Amino acid sequence: MKIDRENLQRKVAELKKAGYTYLVKITAVDYSTNVQAVYILRNIPKSEDVTIEIDLGNDDLWLPTLIDHYRAADWYEREMSEMFGIEIRGRVARRLLLEKWDGVDPPLRKNFQWNAPYKST
């Protein structure tokens, strides 16, 4: 299902109440023309998954945190932030998963320069 990011927390709360209590994955896809966030939730007793897609564009990359709904969102949100450059609003912890780097573009974006020099800090 496609939704707007402004409706993400409300929709996730509804789905969780309906039995989708397991967060399978949060990731993003860079289609060059836009970035899309993808959330997969599972209803374990019914063996059903639901996929939520949110089109973010390329310039205003942010999403609200889901940490209050699913503790596992912590790891996935940190990964999205570091690898795709998506700001996760409402997060308290700012710990990095990977090393801080001085690159301009996040490594999983299409415009990432693989031959650019890497400087670890």
Helix (H, G, I), strand (E, B) or coil at 20: coil
pTM, full prediction: 0.85
* Residue found by looking up tokens 């998954």 in the block: 49
Q: Residue 119 — φ and ψ, nearest 5°? A: -125, 115
pLDDT value at 104 more than 70: no
Per the model's pLDDT, the better-predicted residue between 86 and 103 turns out to be 86
**Residue 119: which pLDDT band, with cuts at 50, 70 and 90?**
low
Q: Where are the domains of the chain?
A: 5-89
Say how far apart CA 30 and CA 63 lie, in whole Å. Answer: 15
Closest-CA residue to 1 (of 61, 57, 28, 41): 41
Which option is the CATH number for 5-89: 3.20.10.10, 3.30.460.80, 3.30.70.260, 3.30.70.1730?
Answer: 3.30.460.80
Any bridge partners for residue 42, and if so which? 22, 49
Q: Which residues contact 71 (CB under 8 A, 6 or more apart)?
A: none
